[in-house]
Chain A
């Protein structure tokens, strides 16, 4: 019972293998595992420290979740209000049902401005719709200006983390790609470039500066879209966003419809929750807010594209809709023991980690191999729920989505096994009979260690199996309490 179409899987991710296979490959990439371990543990510790110093963190989380829920429960109304107030402020509002529509709108505006390049602020929504690829096909270059996004772009790579998309790369790899690739796209890196972070940042700044000064059109997303004031907000660390949002003549912002906040006051808790949860900072260095067009100040033409792309499908699910609260902080990725070991690419989407494991199967449906495997890409340890600043109960959603996957069939042997187990376990007599199998095996095996069982390779390849006992607990209890028992 779902309203609205699911998102079409982009060509980049069509045919991705199921998570376990992709994860196996990722685990074997020793350098990447080392990079990920170092990076996730560093951010994890920073986040824990700045969250611990807030007295009322839990109250903030509740306030954040409430603001998002209020917006989501009356999304139609707030979206209309956003459109109205943005329009009143001089912005031009567009609506896009899916990726193709949104990309078409951006391309049309760029063509009307007769440009062959745009500068970009880091944005998940534009990654989701693969805007850069669409622009390239239309003969328009899209320059990523966030340092990590620039690195990913120079590698011709895919991002593997929401906040730090080049988390899987280390600084030596980055120096090498700067030396190799920068010259092809603009100002080259200096020949004597080292892997010193300050030198790398300097090379990126010089490379990007000429693009900022030249660009006529910028494309961004938005962290928040405030309904009552018609204000868009971008939260960032490097100042590249501020450059893109203020220098060019035309600004196009692609904004997922779930980014709406009802009121200006709701921004307060969000601006405390987001930086502490994402970069582990008390406050992010740059927060840019703009409300339409202002004479002689900033872009003189402001477009806002409100994007659905599967979101109303998610909204229709009473349990699943909490995933739309997500503010893309990536705290769940950084604390996830699975993500820490596999990295982001195994999730087959621009949204990796725990939030990706619940968001992708909801946005795209569960018909592809990778989307059907994502709800199982978790040990349900619950670290993600604890870390989530807007209280998305990711384990609960994972379990619900496993139900959706099981229901669509395909796991026939497993389904039969679960039914059989439920039949045995719903009756103590049947359970007692089944337990005889275990105790018979226990008597045969004695004290020997079980290192190999045909069909159980997934367990025994790396782990011994516990030896079954000679007597179950209930047999022992019955023996000890022969006179009465509780039956």
Chain B
């Protein structure tokens, strides 16, 4: 099924040396997401490597007011990833941090060497939907997912990375999917990193409204490009015993008839 016209199968990009940046949260808490990225990219003919030395982008420190503590993490990040042609991460938020905040942290460190390394690495770091649509030139990834799904565009993928409708282009091309529009989709879910605990009441008020909109759609599955936001909305949906499950975009795109998610 192809609704967008134009792009179908990816040209295998064996010329690219591609690294997976799993992100520390996904690595530790949601390993199924980076596993899905590996399955998906390999299916599309991309040989993806996982540099075992990778750790974290430092976003949590930066956004909480401890940018100084993020300096060694930024240094480590460029050391690990500079040798690759492209770095793919299943998180709009972490890619946003690399692209938007790493230059500021290098500046803070007063290290011009680090700043120039950051400038070299950060344009090569892609959020999953960007990599698929812009680098591989594919929207139909050959996925099969016969369920009612609604998509929440996370703030950092929407307003920091400007991924636009790339995730929706990918989802519309999934065979069997019943994709329904989420009312108030572009409004923040209220996760916001440490905001979720520092301002727990406002965070939950925002999340509750988001969960209500999700329930209105009648979807079985809420999909997004960031597991952290999904943990927050899913935590509320779970507490409400809504029966709606949350899934990362990568897991739906990796799903096939032979190996369904």
Chain A contact residues, CB within 8 Å of chain B: 19-20, 23-24, 27, 337-338, 341-342, 375-383, 385-386, 396, 399, 402-407, 414-415, 418-419, 421-422, 425-428, 431, 435, 438, 449, 451, 456, 458-459, 461-466, 468-469, 471-474, 476-478, 481, 485-487
Chain B contact residues, CB within 8 Å of chain A: 22, 24, 26-32, 34-35, 49-56, 58, 60-70, 72-73, 76, 101, 104, 155-156, 158-160, 186-188, 190-208, 231-232, 234-236, 238-239
Q: How far, in Å, is A26 (CB) from chain B's closest CB?
A: 9
User: Is the pair B22, A473 in contact by a Cβ cutoff of 8 Å?
Assistant: yes
User: Is the pair B29, A466 in contact by a Cβ cutoff of 8 Å?
Assistant: yes
Q: How far, in Å, is A40 (CB) from chain B's closest CB?
A: 11
User: Is the pair A402, B63 in contact by a Cβ cutoff of 8 Å?
Assistant: yes
Known: A379-B203, A463-B204. A469 touches B31 (CB 8 A): yes
C-alpha gap A487/B206 in the complex (Å):
43
Known: A378-B192, A468-B29. A425 touches B67 (CB 8 A): no
C-alpha gap A473/B50 in the complex (Å):
10
Known: A428-B54, A464-B239. A386 touches B159 (CB 8 A): yes
- A461 proximity list for chain B (CB < 8 A): 200, 204
Q: How far, in Å, is A256 (CB) from chain B's closest CB?
A: 28
8 Å CB contact of B193 from A375, A380, A487: A380
- A385 proximity list for chain B (CB < 8 A): 159
8 Å CB contact of A381 from B24, B65, B188, B196: B188
Q: What are 19 A-B contacts defined by CB distance under 8 Å?
A: A20-B198, A337-B187, A338-B199, A378-B195, A380-B155, A406-B66, A425-B56, A425-B73, A428-B52, A435-B27, A459-B200, A461-B200, A462-B236, A463-B238, A473-B50, A476-B31, A476-B35, A478-B52, A486-B52
C-alpha gap A375/B69 in the complex (Å):
19
C-alpha gap A431/B25 in the complex (Å):
11
A-B pairs under 8 A by CB, number: 199
- B60 proximity list for chain A (CB < 8 A): 418, 421
- B207 proximity list for chain A (CB < 8 A): 462-463
User: Is the pair B67, A459 in contact by a Cβ cutoff of 8 Å?
Assistant: no
User: Is the pair A379, B55 in contact by a Cβ cutoff of 8 Å?
Assistant: no
User: Is the pair A474, B159 in contact by a Cβ cutoff of 8 Å?
Assistant: no
User: Is the pair B65, A463 in contact by a Cβ cutoff of 8 Å?
Assistant: no
- B64 proximity list for chain A (CB < 8 A): 402, 406, 414, 418
C-alpha gap A129/B49 in the complex (Å):
60
- A481 proximity list for chain B (CB < 8 A): 50
- A399 proximity list for chain B (CB < 8 A): 62-63, 65, 67, 101
Known: A403-B65, A458-B200. A473 touches B31 (CB 8 A): yes
Q: How far, in Å, is A34 (CB) from chain B's closest CB?
A: 13
Known: A20-B198, A428-B55, A459-B235. A469 touches B29 (CB 8 A): yes
C-alpha gap A438/B29 in the complex (Å):
8
8 Å CB contact of A338 from B191, B196, B202: B202
- B67 proximity list for chain A (CB < 8 A): 399, 403
C-alpha gap A261/B253 in the complex (Å):
52
C-alpha gap A6/B66 in the complex (Å):
24
User: Is the pair B238, A421 in contact by a Cβ cutoff of 8 Å?
Assistant: no
- B72 proximity list for chain A (CB < 8 A): 422, 426
- A451 proximity list for chain B (CB < 8 A): 239
- A20 proximity list for chain B (CB < 8 A): 198-202
Question: Which 9 interchain pairs have the tightest Cβ spacing?
Answer: A379-B192, A463-B235, A402-B65, A406-B65, A381-B188, A382-B159, A473-B31, A422-B69, A381-B155
C-alpha gap A217/B190 in the complex (Å):
48
- A487 proximity list for chain B (CB < 8 A): 52-53
- A381 proximity list for chain B (CB < 8 A): 155, 159, 187-188, 192
- B65 proximity list for chain A (CB < 8 A): 375, 399, 402-407
Q: Looking across the interface, which residue of chain B has its beta carbon closest to that of A432?
A: B52
Q: Looking across the interface, which residue of chain A has its beta carbon closest to that of B186?
A: A383
Q: Looking across the interface, which residue of chain A has its beta carbon closest to that of B236?
A: A463
User: Is the pair A379, B188 in contact by a Cβ cutoff of 8 Å?
Assistant: yes
User: Is the pair B24, A431 in contact by a Cβ cutoff of 8 Å?
Assistant: yes
Q: How far, in Å, is A27 (CB) from chain B's closest CB?
A: 6
6 further A-B contacts with Cβ under 8 Å, apart from A415-B66, A466-B234, are A20-B198, A379-B203, A381-B188, A427-B55, A461-B200, A463-B232
8 Å CB contact of B26 from A463, A465, A473, A478: A473
- A380 proximity list for chain B (CB < 8 A): 63, 155, 192-193, 195
